[in-house]
Structure 1
Amino acid sequence: MPGLGTLLNIVAILAGAAIGVALGNRLPERTTRVVTDALGLVVLVIGGLNLASLTDAAFVAEVSAGGTLLVVLGALLLGGIAGSLLRIEQRLEDFGGWLQRRFSRGTETQEGASRPLDDTTTGLVTIAALSPRERFITGFVDASLVFAIGPLAILGAFADGTGQGIDQLALKSVLDGFGSIAFAASLGWGVAAAALPVGIWQGGLTLLAVLLGSVMGDAAIAAITATGGVLLLGVGLRLLNVRAVAVGDLLPALIVAPLLTVAIGALGIV
């Protein structure tokens, strides 16, 4: 049944978040910071591995060896401009804040509600310095980006929608479940809220695959995977508090990348 893989993924995120919150209450701040650092390093590794799609045979055949990097660069630039104009990152944070206000039973000071998530000079923020609202938003935004950007989200949803099974989404569910534990141990219930955008994104891709079948070629999928790898590197930098990269504003690049691939291949530009 199409959509079963995404449903399994949602359950895994919710269950992992519940376990993480239960563990987080019993762990010192230093331990939860180490857990988040470990997750950030793993995300960097996954992002780096995804960049191997730049050498994918179908991608190279479509746009040439030198064109693959240009496609990713062009997608990031055009997607970043569009995302910043649409203020996607800010909208994600606002949505996370709305969810926190909706479900939180506590009250917060005006200072805690209005203070920005990071230092505008350094882009760094420590978990201990976050208010409950900020912790919820950070958990929601970062977890949503990690769980929704990866290639398994796209490939698995397409495989599910085209009747090839839910094996890839089942694997993703296991990974996201453990990731949710690590996230929620330090960032709390905002991680559970990430199940909502994951469900919408993967469910939409599954429905698209059901309607259109296997129309998207291997080159386009490789372009999405490579571009997603760059975005995951940005998420990793956020988790490690190296730089608060506005990955949300770069999300349109995932749409631009396959369009550029098809256009370049059709016109023979490169």
Structure 2
Amino acid sequence: MPIGVIINSSAVFFGGLLGSLLGDKLPAKFKMELTLIFGVCSMGMGINAIILMKNMPAVILAIVLGTGIGLFVHFGRWIDRGAVLMERPISKLLPRKTKNLSDTEFISALVTVIVLFCAGGTGIYGTLDAGMTGNNTILISKSILDFFTAAIFACNLGPVVSAIAVPQFIIFYIIFLLAKLILPLTNPVMLADFKACGGILMLATGFRIAKMKEFPIADMIPAMVLVMPLSWLWTTIVMPLL
């Protein structure tokens, strides 16, 4: 049962509704400073996962190679294009009512939110972790952040933010099902390194949310695919030779 996925999508849905009702009632300074707190919380979640690392060289190699692959094939750009395609039917279903943003600013902000909720490293890592281990801690913690993040964005974008919960649930549920197929091929060391790799992505996501540094989060996602095979190779082949 994808409890964590359901909670996460529900948080986005109800957070978007709350934000659309609040509208411009929240001051800009309040929204800006609360966003900084979201970033710090994401960093804390990342650090908590990183300390579980068993094979540091394998994790670092996965991050470097995975990001390199993502940048080479323009993985982040493909995700952006997918977000634009998702934005069009959502905007038709729930047209924006706010006039504070131009059409260009509105689309840019909405694409950012779609990528954040549907393709963020924290969500993918948390869903894989829930599917593999049954531990929903990451997704539930992310849900708290997503509820308030959706509310803040919906203050400017309107109820369209709530509709993002639908594609988010579909994407995360597919990832959840795939994770159950991967679990029999893993061991505790591989899972620990997988969590540590996801923690690095969460740390980078925190920097981006806080607008301290624009890490290429989407391009880093392939590292999540590489880290467990590299962890296995390091443990079974490299370590015995050292």
TM over 0.5: yes
Asked whether the 8 Å contact 1:79–1:251 carries over to 2, the reply is yes
Give a deviation string over 1:45-92, Cα, whole Å, max 9, x none: 1111111112xxxx3xxxxxxxx2211210011101111122121122
Partner of 2:201: 231
Asked whether the 8 Å contact 1:234–1:247 carries over to 2, the reply is yes
Partner of 1:156: 130
Q: How does 1:156-235 map to 2 (within 5 A)?
A: 156-160=130-134, 168-169=135-136, 171-172=137-138, 174-188=140-154, 189-190=160-161, 193=164, 196-197=167-168, 199-209=170-180, 211=181, 214-235=184-205
Cα 1:226–1:50 change in 2 (3 A) is same
Partner of 1:53: 52
Cα 1:69–1:172 change in 2 (3 A) is closer
Asked whether the 8 Å contact 1:32–1:185 carries over to 2, the reply is no
Give a deviation string over 1:211-253, Cα, whole Å, max 9, x none: 4653311111111111111111111111111111111001000
Asked whether the 8 Å contact 1:158–1:206 carries over to 2, the reply is no
Asked whether the 8 Å contact 2:83–2:114 carries over to 1, the reply is yes
1:26 aligns with 2:13: no
Cα 1:174–1:201 change in 2 (3 A) is closer
Provide the rounded CA distance (Å) in 1 between the counterparts of 2:162 and 2:190.
Answer: 30
Measure how far apart 1:192 and its partner are. Answer: 5.0
Partner of 1:80: 67
Measure how far apart 1:179 and its partner are. Answer: 1.7
Q: How does 1:119-134 map to 2 (within 5 A)?
A: 131-134=105-108
What SS class does the counterpart of residue 22 from structure 1 fall into? helix
Cα 1:232–1:24 change in 2 (3 A) is farther
Cα 1:15–1:87 change in 2 (3 A) is same
Partner of 1:92: 79
What SS class does the counterpart of residue 268 from structure 1 fall into? helix
Higher helix proportion (structure 1 or 2): 2
**Letter matched to residue 148 of structure 1:** G
Give me the CA root mean square deviation: 2.7
Identical aligned pairs, as a percentage? 18
Measure how far apart 1:12 and its partner are. Answer: 3.4
* Structure 2 unmatched ranges of 5 or more: 155-159
Partner of 2:157: none
Measure how far apart 1:24 and its partner are. Answer: 4.7
Measure how far apart 1:42 and its partner are. Answer: 0.5
Cα 1:199–1:254 change in 2 (3 A) is same
Partner of 2:115: 141
Asked whether the 8 Å contact 2:4–2:140 carries over to 1, the reply is no
Cα 1:221–1:251 change in 2 (3 A) is same
Asked whether the 8 Å contact 2:7–2:143 carries over to 1, the reply is no
What SS class does the counterpart of residue 258 from structure 1 fall into? helix
Asked whether the 8 Å contact 1:20–1:183 carries over to 2, the reply is no
Asked whether the 8 Å contact 2:90–2:163 carries over to 1, the reply is no
